[in-house]
Amino acid sequence: MLSPDNRVVMVSGANRGIGLAVARNLLAKGYRLSLGARDPRKIATALGEATADRVLAAAFEARDRASATAWAEATAQRFGRIDALVNNAGISTPARIEDEDEAVLDALWEVNVKGPLRLIRAALPHLKRSGTGRVVTIASLSGKRVANDNVGYAMSKFAVVALTHGVRRLGWEHGIRACAICPSFVDTDMTAAVTALPRSAMIQPGDLAELVATALALPNNAAVAEYLVNCRFEDML
């Protein structure tokens, strides 16, 4: 397993939900963190000032192309390196096949696909220099099968799984390993309207954060491309 000592991890959408759970988990394990959110002040509030020496709270807006570059540059300037990127920021809004208005679909594509792509592109030179660079993307089981009418969301998650495999291929010779984590329902604000099962039966953010930590720590010769994470039984390929 790779030691967290001196390793720097960028985490998007780190102010709440899965991203905040990932940040807390990695901080406890000894990583140095660059945490991105639309309002970075919320990160400082959530984690406390005691972590300031190992945490950079940065502004990141997935819809803004320049934001990814600025955040990566700020991270490298603060810590001198970038060893891993956790693409967590995302949205889930209904976009059905028969919907004539494509504004929601465009937003899903901008945030869930182009956002991670731009961050990967910005961090890639630093990840190559690391020799053990890692890219972990929070995708979804909706990126592996279509189970409801929200096809737009599924399309975006299928795309980000494909992006992950593209990074694996591109970065392999440079020591970069990429992993897509594909969970079912997670007990966060995003699933607040879900009534198909109780909150207690959903995946807990802290458990998902442990999988992220595992993907970051596995050595180059023991990489896992995808984690499919179920909270209830369903047939999986």
Q: How far apart are CA 174 and CA 133, in angstroms?
A: 8
Alpha carbons within 13 A on the beta-carbon side of 191: 21
What pLDDT is stored for residue 235 in this prediction? 86
Residues 194-213 have a mean pLDDT of 93
Residues 5-29, mean pLDDT to the nearest whole number: 97
Q: CA–CA distance from 74 to each of 35, 51, 182 (Å)?
A: 11, 18, 29
How many contiguous H segments (helices) and E segments (strands) does the chain have?
7, 7
Among candidates 125, 223, 217, which has minimal Cα distance to 174?
125
Which strands sit side by side in the sheet containing 8-12, from one edge to the other? 55-59, 32-37, 8-12, 84-87, 134-138, 177-183, 226-229
Q: How confident is the model at residue 205 (pLDDT cuts 50, 70, 90)?
A: very high
- Name the band, by pLDDT with cuts 50, 70 and 90, for residue 49: confident
Of 31, 71, 153, 158, the catalytic one is 153
Q: What is the pLDDT of residue 237?
A: 63
Residue 22: pLDDT over 90: yes
pLDDT digits (tens, 9 = 90+) for 53-98: 899 999 999 999 999 999 999 999 999 999 999 999 999 999 999 9
CATH architecture designation of domain 8-229? 3-Layer(aba) Sandwich (3.40)
First to last CA, the chain: 28
Cβ(11)–Cβ(23) under 8 Å? yes
Q: Mean pLDDT, the chain, as a whole number?
A: 95
Average pLDDT over residues 2-29: 96
Give residue 189's pLDDT: 83
How many Cβ atoms are within 10 Å of 186's Cβ, its own excluded? Answer: 22
* Per-residue confidence (pLDDT) for residue 50, from 0 to 100: 66
Question: What pLDDT was estimated at residue 44?
Answer: 84
pLDDT tens string 160-202: 999 999 999 999 999 999 999 999 999 988 887 787 899 999 9
Instruction: Answer whether 0.75 is exceeded by the pTM.
Output: yes
pLDDT value, residue 51: 75
Q: C-alpha 18: how far from its chain's center?
A: 9
CA distances (Å), origin 224, targets 5, 70, 164, 165 = 22, 30, 11, 11
Q: Is the pLDDT of residue 21 over 90?
A: yes
| Confidence at residue 227, expressed as pLDDT on a 0 to 100 scale | 97
31 is catalytic: no
Q: What is the pLDDT of residue 126?
A: 98
Residue range 129-165, pLDDT digits in tens: 999 999 999 999 999 999 999 999 999 999 999 999 9
Average pLDDT over residues 12-35: 97
Q: How far apart are CA 126 and CA 75, in angstroms?
A: 10
